[in-house]
Amino acid sequence: MKAKTKLVIAGGGTAGWLTAYSLVTRLGNLLDITLVESDQVGTVGVGEATIPTLRTFHRLIGIDEREFMAATHATFKLGIMFDNWGQRGDSYIHSFGEIGQRSWMAEFHEFWMEARAQGFGGSLDDYCLELKAAKANKFATQVGKKSLNFAYHMNATAYALYLREKSEQAGVNRVEGRIEQVINNQSGDISALIMDDGNNIYGDVFIDCTGFRGLLIGKNLDVDYEDWSHWLAADSAIAVQTEAVEAPRPYTRAIAHSAAWQWRIPLQNRVGNGIVYSSQFLSDDEARSCLMRNLSGETISEPRKLQFTTGRRKKAWQKNCIAIGLSSGFLEPLESTSIHLITTAILRLMKLFPFGSNTALLAEQFNRETKLELETIRDFIILHYHLTQRNDSPFWDHYRTMDIPESLAHRMAMFRENGYAWPDDVSLFRVDSWVQVMMGQGLTPTQYHGAGRVLPVSGLKQQMANLRKLIDNSVTSLPEHGDFIQSYCPAQNL
C-alpha cells in the first residue's frame, strides 16, 4: 500500500483550518495532515461576511448549518446594502436573489424597462424576494417550496476555533510554535519547516496559509506579487466591535464616506465594524475618527489597524507549495469574497492534488484558474468605485476618472448602450448582480431588447403584477430575522 502524502499547512485562522478540515474530510485516507500555527501570531479575523457559495461548500465537507451558526454567533445575510456610492444619499441593495423570471432571449430587467416605458412596473426591487425580505428585516431558509438564497455573518475567530476542533477530532495533527526557517532541497522544493523549539516538520506538499506575510510562497520561494493598487487604492483598514443596539438585520452595510467606506456586520451578540481607506487620501487618524463617529453602540474592543496591498501572487502554486487565503492575494472586503476565494482554492487543490511526481501542468492549471478568478472579482469591485457621480473629494475624483480594465469598460459600455448583461467568467456574479450594482449606481441603458414588446401591453402588465403580488405575499409570511435566528440557531455562550 502506498504511503500517505505528508501535507503540511503553515498557518491557522480561517484559511488554514478550513483547508485542513476540508482535506481531512474528503481525502483523509490518502493524506497525513499537520497544521503548524502559533498562538503568538495573530490572525486577521475580520472576514465576518460571506456569500452563498459557502453553504454549498459546507454541505460538501459535512458542516451542520445550525451547529456552525450557533458556535459562531452567526446571522443570515441576504445581500449588501450600499449607501452613498452612486451619489451622496443614494442607497441600493445588491441581493443574492433572482430578479423576476428567467427568459432565454432577454433578461428580466429588459422586460421591466419596457414596462416602465409603458408607465407601469414599479421598482426593479419589487421583483426580488431576497431583496424585499432584507428591506423588511424578514427571513426564513425557505417560504413555501422556494428556498431563499442566503449567506452568513459570523465571528471569524470563533469559526477558526470551530474548524480547528473538528479538524483535530478528524485526525489533523496540530503543532504549536513559530516557524524559524524554511528548508528547501536541491530541486528548490520545500522539504521541512524548522520550528522555534528546534523540531523539524517534514512534508511532501506545503500549504501557505500565513496570511499577508506569505512566509513560504513569498519570503522563501520568492514569488512576486502583482500590485493592483492603481485600480484599488485602499491599503488600510481599521476594525472595531460594538454592542448591538437593535435586532440583527439580514444584510451587510457598506457605507461610503468622503474618502473611505465603512462596513457594518451584525452578529447575534455584537456588530463588526470597520473602515477601508487609502493612505493616499486619508490619514490613519482621520480614518479612525470617521469610523468612531459613525458607530452605533458602545465599543467593546480596541480599534485594530490592518495594512495590505491589493493584488495577487503571480503564481499561487510554486514548486511543492500552494498559497491559500491572504498569502495568495487580497481583494478588499467590499463584496465579501475572501472566504469564497479560500473555498475555491481548496476545491481546485482537491481536483488537482499532486499525488504523483508530474506536477508542472497541475500547477500551471491551478495558477491559470486562480488568475482568472481574481481578475474577474477585481473587475466587479472596481465597478463600485468607478461607477459613481460623486465629485466631493479627491478620493472619488480619482476613482471616477481613472482608467479601468478593458474587460470592465466593455461590459459597462454594452449595458449602457444596449442593456445587455451577462454572467462573469467564473460564474460567481450572475447577471442579476451586475444589473443591481450598475443600475443601483445610476447606469441606465439607453436602449434594450425588444422582447418585452412581444406580449400585448395588457399581458405584460398582468405578468408583472402577478410577480409583485407573489413576492409581497411571500415576504409578509416570513418571520422577523431575529425571531427566526432564536428558533433556528441561538448562539452558544453569549
**DSSP one-letter string for 409-444:** HHHHHHHHHH------TTSSS-HHHHHHHHHHTT--
Secondary structure of residue 225 in the 3-state scheme: strand
8 A C-beta contact, residue 105 and residue 450:
no
| Residue 95, phi then psi, degrees to nearest 5 | -95, 170
Question: Which domains are present in the chain?
Answer: 5-75+154-229+310-376 (3.50.50.60), 97-146+405-477 (no CATH), 236-307 (no CATH)
Whole-number pLDDT of residue 102:
84
pLDDT attached to residue 474:
98
Q: What is the DSSP string of 189-223?
A: -EEEEEETTS-EEE-SEEEE--GGG-IIIIIIT--
Per-residue model confidence (pLDDT) at position 492: 75
Q: Decide: 236 and 287 in contact? Cβ < 8 Å.
A: yes
Please list the pLDDT of the chain residue by residue as tens digits (494 residues).
Answer: 679 999 999 999 999 999 999 999 999 999 999 999 998 776 665 669 999 999 999 999 999 999 999 999 999 999 999 999 999 999 999 999 999 998 999 999 999 999 999 999 999 999 999 999 999 999 999 999 999 999 999 999 999 999 999 999 999 999 999 999 999 999 999 999 999 999 999 999 999 999 999 999 999 999 999 999 999 999 999 999 999 999 999 999 999 999 999 999 999 999 999 999 999 999 999 999 999 999 999 999 999 999 999 999 999 999 999 999 999 999 999 999 999 999 999 999 999 999 998 999 999 999 999 999 999 999 999 999 999 999 999 999 999 999 999 999 999 999 999 999 999 999 899 999 999 999 999 999 999 999 999 999 999 999 999 999 999 999 999 999 999 999 999 997 65
Nearest residue to 469 via CA among 129, 145, 141: 129
DSSP secondary structure of 256-276:
E-SSEEEEEEE-SS-EEEEEE
d(CA 376, CA 373): 5
Cell readout for 186 is: 536541491
Torsion angle in degrees (nearest 10) through CA of 371, 374, 375, 381: -170
Distance from C-alpha of 350 to C-alpha of 28, rounded to nearest angstrom: 11
Q: For residue 229, what is its C-alpha cell?
A: 493598487
Query: Coil, strand or helix: which one is 357?
Result: coil
Rounded Cα distance between 486 and 84, Å, is 32
Side-chain half-sphere of 303: how many Cα atoms within 13 Å?
19
**Identity of the amino acid at 339:** I
How far is the first Cα of the chain from the last one, in angstroms, to the nearest whole number?
A: 49
Whole-angstrom distance, CA of residue 153 vs CA of residue 76? 6
Residue type present at position 494: L
Residues with active-site annotation: 77
Question: CA 142 to CA 363: how far, in whole Å?
Answer: 41
pLDDT of residue 2: 79
Write out the three cell numbers for 140: 426564513
Question: In sequence order, what are the residues at sequence separation of 6 or more whose Cβ sits closer than 8 angstroms to the Cβ of residue 306?
Answer: 44, 46, 236, 237, 238, 239
**9, 18 in Cβ contact below 8 A?**
no
In order, the DSSP letters of 62-96 are T--HHHHHHHTT-EEE-EEEEESSSSTT-EEEEES
Q: Which H or E run includes 114?
A: helix 108-117
Within 8 A by CB and 6+ apart from 220, the residues are 182, 184, 190, 321
Residue 12 contacts by C-beta under 8 Å, 6 or more apart in sequence? 35, 37, 43, 160, 164, 209
- Angle, helix 406-418 to helix 360-386, in steps of 10 degrees: 50
State residue 46's pLDDT score. Answer: 62
Q: Tell if the pTM clears 0.75, that is, is over it.
A: yes
